[in-house]
Amino acid sequence: MHDWQSWTALAIVVLTIVAFIFRAKRRAKKEARGCGDCGSGKFS
């Protein structure tokens, strides 16, 4: 009955991992990204 839930949860986890890898790659290119929390210090 709740099998679909397990699969969906697992899919979300896998998607999250992929998103983290993607994010890390994208961020590695940017030199200065400022504070993640408050956005302070973003500059060119």
Binding site for another protein (CB under 8 A): 1-2, 4-6, 8-10, 12-13, 16-17, 19-20, 23, 31-41, 43-44
CB 36 to another protein: min, Å? 5
CB 19 → another protein: shortest distance, Å? 6
Q: Could you tell me the CA-to-CA distances from 18 to 21, 24, 27 in Å, in that order?
A: 5, 10, 14
Non-local (6+) Cβ contacts of 41 within 8 A are 32, 34, 35
Select 1 or 29, whichever has its Cβ closest to another protein.
1
